[in-house]
Structure 1
Amino acid sequence: MTPAVRPAVSADVDGMARVHVDSWEETYRGLMPDELLDDPAALDQRRQMWTRALDEDHQRTHTCAVADQDGRIVGVAMSGPSRDDDRPDERELFILYTYRAVQGSGAGQGLLDLVVESGTACHLWVADPNPHAQAFYRKNGFVPDGSVKTDDYDGVREIRMVRAAES
């Protein structure tokens, strides 16, 4: 069954935080330091982050969505204005995480489609290696542009993938 994808609301914060933390553990074990993934404060930090993301001021510029399966949040996504100086006029996909159990169900596609309008120029930073995510983004028209960085927070090497606007 395909999870229902919808705009996030403040009542979703606990579920959003849980899927965010759990999906990091599923995806990044071995790429991120264990102490980061196992940090007991991580869930509360993500609750605070999603609470801020859903405040009225933030929602003027950012779009947050959830995938909901039988009342349980199983995926999250957020986009907003670009943080990259060399791509100022684009949307940036900041977050798209689903539980491994729902990958391939259409949840990720639904989340992407809801937070980044079709035909919109967009870019994202994705862990490298993360072949599953990179293949998903390629399927959606994103290609690596050669930019690479190492995240200061978690030490993960990331590549930037970009998608041109459709005319």
Structure 2
Amino acid sequence: MYGMKLWTMRLEAGDGHAPTKNGLAWGLLVATFIDIAVDGFIIGAGFAAGGETGMILSLGLSVELLFLGLALTSESTKGWRIVAISGALAVTVLVCAVLGNILLSGASNAVIAAALAFSAAALLYLVTEELLIEAHTVEEQPIATLVLFSGFLVFWSIQLSGS
């Protein structure tokens, strides 16, 4: 997640003049497609887990996907580009959901739990880094997010070693 943030920041910076190329914000577009692929895999893992997990994840993530799709539309993205991007996003989430379900359908409960735990960490990253951006009063360095998640990992490791 940290490496993806650095990479998309570099894409958005581009040559230092504008974050867009051919009217598209490539950093945002790449980050969105990676996020959509991970979300699709999470949905597939939920269906592989059985019960209502897949349906609950599908419903919850569909709201996120709606607003993510709306965020991609800007004044510079119009007409056929919006349709093409929306279609590509839909195909990406569908393919990754099917792939996640196929790969995890015969997996053990531990593997499925690990995949869902990764998804929880990815969503936590999204909340702390993107959705709470307005709460940031000063420009923060990307290392701050790495330190935050390192703290979670250390605390989790201490809890596991004490059990």
Question: TM-score interval w.r.t. the shorter chain?
Answer: 0.3 to 0.5
TM-score between both structures, scaled by the size of structure 1: 0.33
Q: TM-score when scaled to structure 2?
A: 0.33
Which structure carries more strand by proportion?
A: 1
Who wins on radius of gyration, i.e. which is larger?
2
Quick check: which one's helix share is greater? Answer: 2
Answer 1 or 2: higher relative contact order, Cα 8 Å, separation at least 6.
2
